Amino acid sequence: MKAVEDGNLEKDLNEALIIGKWEYIERMIGEHPNEVFKARLNKNGDTLLLLAFNEGKNVLIRRMLEKIPPDLLAETDNLGNTALHLAAKVGLVEDAKILVRKDSKLLNCENKDGLLPIQLAARREQANARSMTSYLFKAGKEDENHSKLLKEEAGAGVGSRVMKSLIKAGFYDLALHLLEFNEKLAWEKKDISPLEQMASDPGGFKSGFRSRSWQSLIYSYSWYKIWSALPKVLVQNKDIPALKLKHQHARQLVQSLCSNIKKMDEPQKKLGKILLLGAQNGIEEIVHEILESLPSTITYTDVKKHSIFHVAVMYRHENILKMAHEKNKQRKGTQNPDSRENTLLHLVGSTPLQAGIDTDAGAIFQMQNELQWFKKVSELVTPQELNSENKQKKTPFALFQDQHAAMAAKEKEWMTRMATASSVAGSLVATVAFAAPFQVPGGNGNGGIPNFSNKSSFIVFAISDALALFSSITSVLTFLSIFTSRYGVRDYLRALPHRVIIGLISLLLSFIFLTTAFSSTLFLVFAKENDLILIPIILLSCIPVILYAKLQLPSLLAMIKSTFYPSILHW
């Protein structure tokens, strides 16, 4: 009573809440419930209940919810947030259930940013964001007033905003349930549509999932069964099964959206625009579903006269070009030039609009990949288009040379540095391997025959040293040929990659053989005293080979795959 009369109620309640003094708060609630729950305790406009949510006083929150009058639950802070907004924001599902049971109208309350509680829940990144969003979605469908809002026309209110929030959060299964609840939400006239929103986010689909080999195995269905049975501690990335399920839900939502848009007016224009956006971002699932739903969209062009073929080439999305080609085989070579008279081959001649090329194994991949694209698209166009000119009066190959001159110069510099370093290493190996036979372990006998010539380990030494010499010389000569190359544009397709591959393989083999020869020498000298000396020799000799393999082998294997098994040329 005294605190109310003295005007210190806000200060006393604030202090009591911070230190968790429930007895005082309970007494004040009993004496002045309205004053206690309406009092603004700080400059943010927090009431006692709102401050408890912000301070994480979970035990006090539950006790307050038992005593607060229902008509005071809608009190807001300066930002317009109700208690349900804050419960959704911090992820207190059980408290949210109590709030909705006491006053379901809280589901429809917007804060000053125009956000509903479910939108705040979907924005969270904590582990329980999904459970909170799922509950609010379910509660909203069951509430008569909220469900009416969800059934409004697209772009008119709650349904559209909730749909966008669910898609942005990656809760595609909930978005699918909402679409089934209100099919009108499939398209918006004045704002971005749900399918267009999804076509802007490659991360929501399998085609946008950049995985390592072992992750791809887990991702596959059969491996998922095996890995899900193992203890979670043994699985480095236990989120992959959940990610796969998310991708499946995304595809189902795309199918449903396409099906609904197909029933509307001008479906080809609507889906055609999204088809090009999905192709631009490399989302194969959206491209596939749109082409399956409405095959005529393959002829759709934008204001620059770009079709899906043009977009796939400009952004270097191989699988999308392949998909479009298979859907349109009977129209081979009939893609019209764009507004600048560029054919598909001209667009390959221009540098790609996004860095979709794997350059981990060296800059040579950029030029090689570009040439592979040029070669493949040359097979898809008519003979007349091979030498046709655009508005700049340039043929496709002339444009390719001009646009890729800087790339070629950069890759020449990279290859020169790589060849220089590798030649030095190869020369060192050759020097050591050449000198070794003149100082054989154990020396020579009176007849000039090595004393250990009857030992099997000596045979290993002799053979390994000879192979080390031959492979290192091969490596040096190969890298020297790179220095003398004329570096023509077409050389980047096969000639230069072949030399790099041969040089690196030869250098790796020379390291292996030289290490083997050295280990054999140590064994010859010390094995008579202790045979176990072989164990540390083998282990230590593996270290430099493993180190070099770890640093170079991934790049080498990637280069071999790109040179001899390029996927762009095999369809």
What is the average per-residue pLDDT within 431-435? 92
Strand partners, 450: 444
Answer whether residue 270 is part of any domain. no
User: To 10 degrees, what angle do helices 364-380 and 495-526 make?
Assistant: 140
Structure confidence at residue 143 (pLDDT): 85
Whether the pLDDT of residue 429 is over 50: the answer is yes
Contact 261, 267 (CB under 8 A): yes
Higher pLDDT, 358 or 26: 26
Structure confidence at residue 238 (pLDDT): 56
Give the 3-state secondary structure of residue 444. Answer: strand
Higher pLDDT, 436 or 300: 300
The count of structural domains within the chain is 1
Residue 360: pLDDT band (50, 70, 90) is very low
Structure confidence at residue 226 (pLDDT): 55
Q: Give the domain CATH number at 553.
A: 1.20.140
Contact 126, 118 (CB under 8 A): no
- Count of helix runs (H) and strand runs (E) in the chain: 28, 0
Closest CA to 43 of 51, 35, 53: 51
Query: What span, in angstroms and rounded, lies between the C-alpha atoms of 408 and 524?
Result: 51
Higher pLDDT, 209 or 428: 428
pLDDT digits (tens, 9 = 90+) for 363-408: 567 899 999 999 999 999 989 999 999 999 999 999 999 999 999 9
Structure confidence at residue 241 (pLDDT): 78
- Tally of CB atoms within 10 A around 115: 21
Angle made by CA atoms 215, 211, 249, in degrees to the nearest 5:
85
**Single-letter residue type at 331:** R
Contact 219, 211 (CB under 8 A): yes
Of the listed ranges 110-114, 258-262, 556-560, 565-569, the one predicted with least confidence: 565-569
Torsion of CA 58, 62, 67, 73, to 10 degrees: 80
Contacts of 320 (CB under 8 A, 6+ apart): 279, 282, 284, 287, 308, 311, 312
Answer whether residue 475 is part of any domain. yes
What is the average per-residue pLDDT within 87-109? 93
**Ramachandran angles phi, psi of 131, nearest 5°:** -65, -40
**How far out from the chain centre does Cα 486 lie?**
38
Query: What span, in angstroms and rounded, lies between the C-alpha atoms of 384 and 418?
Result: 41
Q: Which domain holds residue 447?
A: 406-569
C-alpha distances in Å from residue 512, one per residue of 4, 179, 407? 87, 62, 35
Residue 260: pLDDT band (50, 70, 90) is very high
C-alpha distances in Å from residue 181, one per residue of 137, 370, 538, 549? 11, 47, 68, 57
Residue 6: exposure state from Cβ atoms within 10 A (0-12, 13-18, ≥19): exposed
Answer whether residue 268 is part of any domain. no
Structure confidence at residue 436 (pLDDT): 82
Average pLDDT of the chain, as a whole number: 86
Residue 361: pLDDT band (50, 70, 90) is very low
Query: What span, in angstroms and rounded, lies between the C-alpha atoms of 88 and 464?
Result: 69
Whether the pLDDT of residue 435 is over 80: the answer is yes
Query: What span, in angstroms and rounded, lies between the C-alpha atoms of 542 and 248?
Result: 45
Residue 222: pLDDT band (50, 70, 90) is very low
Structure confidence at residue 540 (pLDDT): 81
Structure confidence at residue 524 (pLDDT): 76
Residue with the two structure tokens 């392949």: 322
Query: What span, in angstroms and rounded, lies between the C-alpha atoms of 127 and 130?
Result: 7
* DSSP run (H or E) holding 241: helix 240-262
Answer whether residue 555 is part of any domain. yes
Answer whether residue 471 is part of any domain. yes
Residue 247: pLDDT band (50, 70, 90) is very high
Whether the pLDDT of residue 54 is over 80: the answer is yes
Contacts of 447 (CB under 8 A, 6+ apart): none
Closest CA to 177 of 256, 289, 244: 256
Residue 68: exposure state from Cβ atoms within 10 A (0-12, 13-18, ≥19): buried
Answer whether residue 258 is part of any domain. no
Q: Is 343 left (phi over 0), alpha (psi -120 to 50) or beta?
A: beta
Contacts of 349 (CB under 8 A, 6+ apart): 374, 394, 396, 397, 398, 399, 400, 403
Closest CA to 344 of 289, 292, 291, 400: 400
Structure confidence at residue 240 (pLDDT): 77
Structure confidence at residue 223 (pLDDT): 52
C-alpha distances in Å from residue 21, one per residue of 12, 17, 49, 55, 372? 10, 6, 14, 14, 73
| Of the ranges 33-47, 229-243, 547-561, the best mean pLDDT one | 33-47
Query: What span, in angstroms and rounded, lies between the C-alpha atoms of 365 and 361?
Result: 7
Helix residue spans in 110-220 (DSSP H): 117-123, 129-142, 144-150, 158-169, 172-181, 194-199, 213-219
Structure confidence at residue 359 (pLDDT): 43
Contact 322, 571 (CB under 8 A): yes
Residue 1: pLDDT band (50, 70, 90) is very low
Higher pLDDT, 457 or 543: 543
Whether the pLDDT of residue 451 is over 70: the answer is no
- How many residues are given for the chain? 571
Q: What does R_g of the chain's alpha carbons equal in angstroms?
A: 35
pLDDT digits (tens, 9 = 90+) for 470-512: 999 999 999 999 999 999 999 999 999 999 999 999 999 999 9
Answer whether residue 335 is part of any domain. no
Whether the pLDDT of residue 417 is over 60: the answer is yes
Residue 286: exposure state from Cβ atoms within 10 A (0-12, 13-18, ≥19): buried
Tell me the three-class secondary structure of 495-537, residue by residue.
Answer: HHHHHHHHHHHHHHHHHHHHHHHHHHHHHHHHCCCCHHHHHHH
Answer whether residue 360 is part of any domain. no
Query: What span, in angstroms and rounded, lies between the C-alpha atoms of 464 and 390?
Result: 59
Residue 317: pLDDT band (50, 70, 90) is very high
Higher pLDDT, 454 or 543: 543
* DSSP 3-state percent helix, strand, coil across the chain (nearest 5): 70, 0, 30
Percent of residues, the chain, with pLDDT higher than 70: 87
Query: What span, in angstroms and rounded, lies between the C-alpha atoms of 11 and 551?
Result: 64
| Of the ranges 26-40, 72-86, 455-469, 525-539, the best mean pLDDT one | 72-86
